[in-house]
Structure 1
Amino acid sequence: MTTASTTHPWLPYGVTSTGTRLFCFPHAGASAAVYAGWRAVGGDDPVICPVQLPGRAARGREVPHHDPEALADDVLDGLGREFTGDYALFGHSVGALTAYLVARRIVERGGPPPRHLFVSGRAAPQLPNTRRELRALPTDDLVEELRALGGLPDLLLRERSLLESFLPLLRADLAVNETYRHVPGPPLPIPLTVFGGVDDPRADPVELAAWQELSTDSALVTYPGGHFYLEDRVAEMMQVVRRRMAG
Structure 2
Amino acid sequence: MHWTEYLNPLMQGAWLTVQLTLYSTILGAALAFAAGIGKTSRNHGIKAVAVTYIEVFRGTSLLVQLFWLYFALPILGQGIGLDLRLPPVVAGVLALALNIGAYGAEVVRGAIQAVSKDQFEAAKALNFTRRQTLWSVALPQAIPEMMPSFGNLAVQNLKDTALVSLISLGDLAFRAEQLRNFTQDSTTIYTMVLFMYFGMALVVTAMMKMLERYVGRWRSARG
Q: Which structure is higher in RCO with an 8 Å CA cutoff and minimum separation 6?
A: 2
Q: Which TM-score applies when normalising by structure 1?
A: 0.25
Say which structure is richer in helix.
2
Q: Which TM-score applies when normalising by structure 2?
A: 0.27
Say which structure is richer in strand.
1
Larger Rg: 2
